[in-house]
Structure 1
Amino acid sequence: MPLNDYLERILSARVYDVAVETPLELAPNLSRRVGNQIYLKREDIQPVFSFKIRGAYNKMVKLSRAELDRGVVCASAGNHAQGVAYSAAHLKCRAIIVMPATAPQIKVDAVSRLGAEVVLIGESYSDCYAHAIKLCEENGMTFVHPYDDPEVIAGQGTVGMEILMQHPDPLDVIFVPVGGGGLIAGVAAYIKRLRPEVKIIGVEPTDANAMYLSLKLGERVNLPQVGIFADGVAVKQVGEETFRLAQQFVDDVILVDTDAMCAAIKDVFEDTRSILEPAGALAVAGAKLWAARQKVEGQTLVAITSGANMNFDRLRYVAEQAEMGEEREAIIAVTIPEKPGAFRTFCGLIGARNVTEFNYRYASDDIAHVFVGLSIQNRSEVADLIEKLANEGIIALDLTNNELAKLHIRHLVGGRAPHVDNERLIRFEFPERPGALLNFLTGMNVGWNISLFHYRNHGADYGRVLVGIQVPAEEDAAFGDFLKKLGYPFWLESGNPAYQLFLGA
């Protein structure tokens, strides 16, 4: 399709039968902290709490009555599913929504309430897509693609059209969350045609960076696996048409981590009292990162807040990680001499800083280890404090970016087992489904003893598990085969200093 056709498609898109023109709101607190004017394009307040309703309806409303009577099928983790279900209810047609078994329950329930038929299958979009296509072929139904369809792209492009209408004054950058690429393709095609000086920057999670890699390599890549914390953008391969448009019109794609997304959720809450889902906060996290990297001030930035379908039980994890992402909390491990007055000296060196967590554990007759969380204003404070402690003969280690420390050790400090031999410490991500633990246990050699096991539900679609297993050195090969056959993502942590200080024998 000629690129110029998208301007006409977007201008003539049928979205407002069901979608609303969302506001473009200044985020005053965030703008003040970042030193730039940051506007939020509030797609999180659409009727289905996501921009996806635009593309889904624009595709479906242009089907013939005969096609609608045969029904539609889509594959989606949730937001596109709700858009299709809502549109089907409005157009009075049958809709089958194929969703992964790991889809957040809030999205599954929302689709069911809208009257669509939900089929849960597999663990990824690929599993859902294959089943959805099979249903279409068997029943003569129409597949509504979540992103790689010109009418879907045009529907999403109306977000860009609204931004220019709502802000006719100069704009510097528009930040767009990227999954399969439908939103950024539509927005970029429209903006670059009318205001080519405005930069379009995509934002992806570090562990779901399909568009970033594809643009760097000049061809679509297929990721072997993706992180699913930001489930709304957990896509292994971007669309063919969306990639073509991104190559033409997107200026850059940047990556942000989970902590940054959690911090962005908090930022938006503080300005709007609304709670975004992780994918919905991607653009805000990207805007903050870009402004800091470029060292710019006084520019006008727009971040598209794309969705608010957040599972409530994720909020606990988001709240914990937000302080890390905003660099407002530091975690340090401190070794102090086990003698009268040493603990008091250490506390005096901390000074008036707010202590967010404090764990002390006797280690031997000579030393003690302390695990401390501290509120900070900036990262330089941590280095200054560690240097100050070193000058007093106290050894300290910054664990702020240590995943093992943040996820597990802070909840297990003091769990030493001095008589445990040959302990291997492994951090796993278990699929959050019945039978995952049993599968792990039955695959283990009966001669290996579990010496430590820690699990904590973080509101994600996978469980973060820490396991200590006693494995004799001569069984290294068998243990390696077990881990490979198990198929769960894992990290060997026996050499991690956080483990050696607080848990190791």
Structure 2
Amino acid sequence: MNKTPQRTAAASAEAQRLLAQYAKRIEQAAGRVYDVADVTALEHAPKLSARLGCKLLLKREDTQPVYSFKLRGAYNKMASLSDEARAHGVVTASAGNHAQGVALSAAKLGIPSSIVMPRTTPAIKVDAVRSLGGKAILHGDAYDDALAHALELVDRGMTLVHPYDDPEVIAGQGTIAREILEQLPQLGVEKLDAVFVCVGGGGLLAGIAAWIKHKSPHTKVICVEPDDSNCMGAGLKAGRRIKLAQAGLFADGVSVRQAGEEPFKLARHFVDDCVEVSIDEICAAIRDLFNEKRAVPEPAGALGIAGVKRYAQTHDLSGKTVCAIVSGANINFDRLRYVAERAELGDDAETLLAVTIPEKPGSFKKFLSHLRRRPITEFNYRYSSSGAAHVFVGIKITEGAAEREKLIQILREQDLPVADMTGNEMAKLHVRFMVGGRAPGLADEHLFRFVFPERPGALEDFLHAIGGRWNISLFHYRNHGAAFGRVLCGLQIPRGQLGDVRRSLDQLGYEYWEETDNPAYALFLGTRA
């Protein structure tokens, strides 16, 4: 948890000014946005409420016409433009929900719209923009390239519709909070104790926080971020905007390196706490909403639910009523396999163990007997030598860490070497698909794990950095349907040259980790037992 800084008297006066300003803006937005946006349902989540010991409400922005809240802010901004500005058209840079919100809003208002998207944008998103009447312009290999081109169009007279750093966009998103407070009596709720909001650039958070603190100041506003894209929480803790070196891309809807200037100004006054969640926890929250409502949110859309679950681990929510914003449902179908793989880990309902068993008849049967009929979720085996075999096994558990430790102790009491791989990212991403890939006798091998950008030339750039100086002894690539790929790579590096490799990789700019000492490597892939 990241607590926000204490607020001074001067800050309090500034807060009151901002509240008055944004309350007026949000009221005005409420007179516009319903030309395109729906008043989405506020629903009770009984199954999750029972698990968490509170009353959990879900604000279903995933049911909007473009399956995201983004059209509220986009439409409000564009509806506020003068006739002259409308005639010149609008432009934005986006490969996601904001792009569709701008395209739909522009079509409704009869405004020409240009949506600049990286050339790597999936065809389904490009087609969605075009089907809504927007002009999709493919430019560059990354978002920054697209944004630079969008700004060139602004210089030619078009109006930029920013995805989050604009007062009118923020006000449009604030209409969500207005609806929530108006809908509470319909559910028999007199008091809302907290609202959990996903955060990228901060436009949604800022709009909701401004209205909540205006109308219901006792309600806590809690921002939820992926732990690899925590620019808002880091900034609030530091008291200034922070620019991350890199933002994780699994929850692509909130993959932002720096919070917007205007959203951050509001968040400093009106956000009470920040929660960070892991990829596994986000996947578990996606599954939770499916089990609860038979709906499948995108990763960013599930952040609010994941945040409530994380918050409940350290705060007593008994008797409390809390709300999670389900912000969107634009998930690529090919990501669902990955989500399913990680969901059990996110709820600590599965443990991954690496076990060495004797290579002799009856060993499998004896090993399984030690698990005492616990459900097996995954089982990978590979012959290692005439005396030993390596097993990578997933086991369903119901009592979390305590049961995991008990199970490990049982195996060790049977003199079976065991390593807990549940939190081992390399094992989860790569080794479970590569069991048995050992290379006895391979000298000077070092292991690295990379995040490759999904763009043309990414692999060639990597090979150019290696420059033919070091032999590639292992290469395993996985794509998760997002704008990045996971790579595990082995390099043969002669003694004294590891520093040269590191410098070459640093210059390349890809995020990487050295994994040579990872126990998963020693057990399954390496040359050491």
- Using the size of structure 1 for normalisation, the TM-score is 0.96
* Deviation by residue 1:334-363 (Cα, 9 ceiling, x = unmatched): 122344544332211111111111122232
Name the residue aligned to 2:160.
143
For 1:65 and 1:468, how far apart are their aligned partners in 2? 60
Name the residue aligned to 2:9.
none
* Deviation by residue 1:451-502 (Cα, 9 ceiling, x = unmatched): 2111122212111111112121133233223222322211111110001011
Q: Tell which deviates more after alignment, 354-363 or 99-108.
A: 99-108
Q: Does 1:426 align with 2:448?
A: yes
> Does structure 2 retain, via aligned residues, the 8 Å contact 1:125–1:235?
no
Aligned residue for 2:35, secondary structure, equals coil
- Structure 2 residue runs of 5 or longer lacking an equivalent are 1-13
> Does structure 1 retain, via aligned residues, the 8 Å contact 2:465–2:505?
no
Residues 474 and 110 from structure 1, CA distance in 2 versus in 1: closer, same or farther, beyond 3 angstroms? Answer: same
For 1:466 and 1:446, how far apart are their aligned partners in 2? 18
Name the residue aligned to 2:338.
317
For 1:195 and 1:473, how far apart are their aligned partners in 2? 64
For 2:275 and 2:288, how far apart are their aligned partners in 1? 19
Name the residue aligned to 2:179.
162
Name the residue aligned to 2:6.
none
Superposed CA RMSD: 1.6
For 1:487 and 1:250, how far apart are their aligned partners in 2? 34
Q: Does 1:215 align with 2:241?
A: no
Q: Does 1:82 align with 2:100?
A: yes
Name the residue aligned to 1:241.
262
Aligned residue for 2:56, secondary structure, equals strand
* Deviation by residue 1:340-396 (Cα, 9 ceiling, x = unmatched): 544332211111111111122232333322111111112221100011112222221
Question: Equivalent of 2:458, from 436, 443, 459?
Answer: 436
1:448 to partner: Cα distance = 2.6
Name the residue aligned to 1:362.
383
Name the residue aligned to 2:247.
226
Name the residue aligned to 1:40.
58
Q: Does 1:482 align with 2:498?
A: no
> Does structure 2 retain, via aligned residues, the 8 Å contact 1:78–1:104?
no
Name the residue aligned to 2:491.
469
Question: Equivalent of 1:58, from 73, 76, 85?
Answer: 76
> Does structure 1 retain, via aligned residues, the 8 Å contact 2:450–2:487?
yes
Amino acid aligned to 1:10 = I
For 1:340 and 1:71, how far apart are their aligned partners in 2? 74
Amino acid aligned to 2:25 = R
**Percent of aligned pairs sharing the same letter:** 57
> Does structure 1 retain, via aligned residues, the 8 Å contact 2:141–2:455?
no
Name the residue aligned to 2:5.
none
Question: Equivalent of 1:387, from 405, 409, 420?
Answer: 409
Name the residue aligned to 1:109.
127
Residues 15 and 97 from structure 1, CA distance in 2 versus in 1: closer, same or farther, beyond 3 angstroms? Answer: same
Q: Tell which deviates more after alignment, 153-162 or 26-35.
A: 26-35
1:503 to partner: Cα distance = 1.1
- Using the size of structure 2 for normalisation, the TM-score is 0.92
- Structure 1 residue runs of 5 or longer lacking an equivalent are none
Amino acid aligned to 2:284 = A
For 1:187 and 1:400, how far apart are their aligned partners in 2? 36
Name the residue aligned to 1:12.
28
Residues 437 and 481 from structure 1, CA distance in 2 versus in 1: closer, same or farther, beyond 3 angstroms? Answer: same
> Does structure 2 retain, via aligned residues, the 8 Å contact 1:48–1:82?
yes
For 1:474 and 1:351, how far apart are their aligned partners in 2? 49
Aligned residue for 1:352, secondary structure, equals coil
Q: Does 1:73 align with 2:94?
A: no
